[in-house]
Structure 1
Amino acid sequence: MSTTGRLRYTLPPPDGSKAHIDLRVDPSQNWLDDFHTVQIKDVRGREDHYTLDTAGCQYYRHPAKYTTFLNDEEIKDEYYPESMELIKRLTGATRVIIYTYGRLIILATQSDLFMYGIPPVIRRGRPASSDDTVKHKTPARLVHADQTMADAHAIVRRYLSPSDAETIIQGRFQTISFWRPISYPVVDWPLALCDFRSINAERDLVAMSVIHHDHEDESYCAKYNPEHQWIYKSAMEPEDLLIIKTFDSVQGGSVALHTAFQDPMTPEDAPYRQSIELRAILYFGEN
């Protein structure tokens, strides 16, 4: 089975300048939108054909112990630690460092757990909703990958001691997004992913500065390529989760482009999508 989606790609700035989006007041961009309708394959029942190492994304079925997702402090106290242990078990990482949008949330080792005051990224509502805040963000409707190599290295160096950062950077590390629906299945604005085997990294990926009030990140937007192979899992439930690889120090270009999309088969009375995501640095070395 498959569906279609009208995806928002990017045409780089015509003046040759670097693409950027400025989020400090009203979001503004210097590139041109380039919409294309594409086929998106439903992988339900064939999820095991896609793994972090072969496609840049991987689906799992694992219910969360914490299911309320209404109180930030409870989420930090309960959902973060259980997610960190689950990420280790699913990926083989020896260390998990969770952060979000350029800021550290948790630094976790075997013996330490440091909490920071950054709220979790919970997405409720539809794109262009007026309620688009850090606490309740709307689904991101742009074909993108969260990090460039330079940004992944910068994040490691930003939040860890110099010696600790160099240990991680000299070994194998990844950055990921750990995503799951909350409350009920996601039918409205589901998440589509592009199998990295169909991406021409040199031609397709466009480095983009993301300008915040107090810092600047660098991610990728993407030019349209008719060879892109798009997938999604229909009606993902809160017991389902998805790991999206956003950087890999070994498989350099193996990132999965992704975007929310409007499925034409979505019933008119479908509830607005609700989901939670964590971003994490994974280290694959000795503790």
Structure 2
Amino acid sequence: MTTTHTGETSSIGVYPKVLATLNYYLEPERGGSDKYILGSGNDLELNKYDSAEVYVSNIRGNEADFRLDEHGFELLQDVETIKSSDPTYLREEYYAIVARALAAKVGASEVVVTSNIRRLRKDSHRRKRIPISYASLVHVDQSWSGARVKYAHKCPQFSKRFDNSRWAVINWWQPIDHAATRWPLAVCDGSSIADEDWREIIATSPKRRPKLPGDDAGDVGTPIEPPCAALPPSSEADVRSNPDHGMWNVVKPRSQDEHKWYFFQDVQPHEALLIKIFDSQTQGVSRRTPHSAFQSPIDYGPERTSIEFRCLAFWDEKPLVICTPGQSLLSQRR
């Protein structure tokens, strides 16, 4: 059941809310698991979950209230639209557009787009694109250790930068073809989640058929990922599998408004939602952002089609900020 509700009060005004169902972590003693099977959209079929009704604030029109380093997410407006979902176009042209825009936004020395997930695919006979299921379990793609494991494996040429400078994993999510008027992304201010409610679990990929000639490594559901975009493509041997790695799940809240969830209604093709997945800086910034697709009571229009770009950002002039003895890694913005 989903209903509309008004509203959360901020320092600027009141945000209208919707009441929606989100799917949280199910503890192993209740039938859940400490492993999360990555299904590229069919998460609910592969994993057990604990549903909860929560309020999600619609912050359309209040974009300036939310910033990436403070809240863990931010909506960019007036970005270049994606002209095609063709993987060659994305890799050879649009990756550079994302990298330049994101580096300018966050003040990074360099941004590298490592891969993309396309929320669209062809039917079983590869005749036409069809929408796919959306990732509708509350999660953060990588944990503190999981980010290092995944990207040291995927992009080993950056190992020294991982050790010596600030770096972050940021997702760039953007609609393609038309506005995202249904199944929006909900994003949560991680500082509203109690320390004891985070669960670090292992993300693992199911065994699937080998990649076949003609398969697109950017297609959702493909069992292997291409090498880091910064590496020149050469042969199939360069393709690196997605290693098992830590990720964050969250147990369900004690009340409908305990976790501060937000969404931007009707994200346009010229807009991009930034989501902070990991930040090596341990003080003063938001470091992880739970997110999930959800069915909204104000959904309308065609099925959502969107592309998510996974990005590494580096600040080479900024050394790693290490916590002092006795200081929690979850301090300040978590």
User: Shorter-chain TM-score: which interval?
Assistant: 0.7 to 0.9
After TM superposition, give the deviation of residue 53 of structure 1 in Å: 1.5
**1:264 counterpart residue number:** 297
Q: Is the 8 A contact 1:12 1:31 kept in 2?
A: no
Question: Secondary structure of the residue that 1:144 maps to in structure 2?
Answer: coil
Structure 2 partner of 1:77: 92
Which of the two has higher C-alpha Rg?
Answer: 2
Cα distance in 1, alignment partners of residues 58 and 44 from structure 2: 33
Count of matched residue positions in the alignment of Structure 1 and Structure 2: 257
> Would you say the 8 A contact 1:146–1:220 is kept in 2?
yes
Q: 2-side partners of 1:240 and 1:23: how far apart? A: 26
- Aligned 8 A contact 2:32 2:49 in 1: no
Aligned partner of 2:308 in structure 1 is 277
Provide the C-alpha distance between the structure 1 equivalents of 2:263 and 2:124, rounded to a whole number of angstroms.
Answer: 27
Given candidates 22, 39, 49, the residue that maps to 2:65 is 49
Alignment of 1:82-161 (within 5 A): 82-100=97-115, 120-124=116-120, 137-161=132-156
Within the alignment, does 1:182 sit opposite 2:162 as a pair? no
**Structure with higher strand content:** 1
* 1:179 aligned counterpart, secondary structure: strand
Give 2:91's aligned amino acid.
K
Identity %, equivalent residues: 26
Instruction: State whether residues 73 and 275 of structure 2, in contact with CA within 8 Å, keep that contact through their aligned partners in structure 1.
Output: yes
Whether the aligned pair in 2 keeps the contact of 1:8 and 1:141 (CA below 8 Å) is yes
Query: In structure 1, what is the Cα distance between the partners aligned to 2:68 and 2:93?
Result: 26
Q: Distance in 2 between matches of 1:58 and 1:27?
A: 25
TM value normalised by structure 1: 0.80
Partners in 1 of 2:201 and 2:95 — Cα distance? 30
Q: Structure 1 pair 243/3, CA: closer, same or farther in 2 (3 Å)?
A: same
Please report how far the alpha carbon of residue 205 of structure 1 lies from its aligned counterpart in structure 2 after TM superposition: 3.1
1:255: which partner in 2?
288
> In the superposition, relative to structure 1, how do residues 199 and 83 fare at CA in structure 2: closer, same or farther (>3 Å)?
same
Distance 2:78 2:148 in 1: 30
Normalised to the residue count of structure 2, the TM-score between the two structures is: 0.69
Contact persistence 1:124–1:272 (CA under 8 A): no
Q: Contact between 2:200 and 2:246, CA under 8 Å: does it hold in 1? A: no
In structure 1, stretches of 5+ residues that fail to align are: 101-119
CA RMSD of aligned residues (A): 2.9
Residue 104 (structure 1) aligns with = none
Amino acid of the structure 1 residue aligned with 2:160: E
Matched, 1:216 2:216: no
Equivalent residue letter for 1:121: I
SS in 1 for 2:68: coil
- Deviations along 1:73-95, one digit per CA (max 9) or x if unpaired, are 11211111111101100111111
Question: Which residue of structure 2 aligns with residue 63 of structure 1?
Answer: 79
Q: Which amino acid aligns with 1:250?
A: Q
- Report if aligned partners of 2:17, 2:58 keep a CA contact under 8 Å in 1: yes
1:109 maps to none
Q: 1:243 and 2:274 equivalent?
A: yes
Q: 2:165, 2:315 within 8 Å by CA — same for their partners in 1?
A: yes
Hey, what's the Cα distance between the residues in 2 that align with 1:22 and 1:223?
Answer: 18
Alpha-carbon distance in 2 for matches of 1:139, 1:28: 9
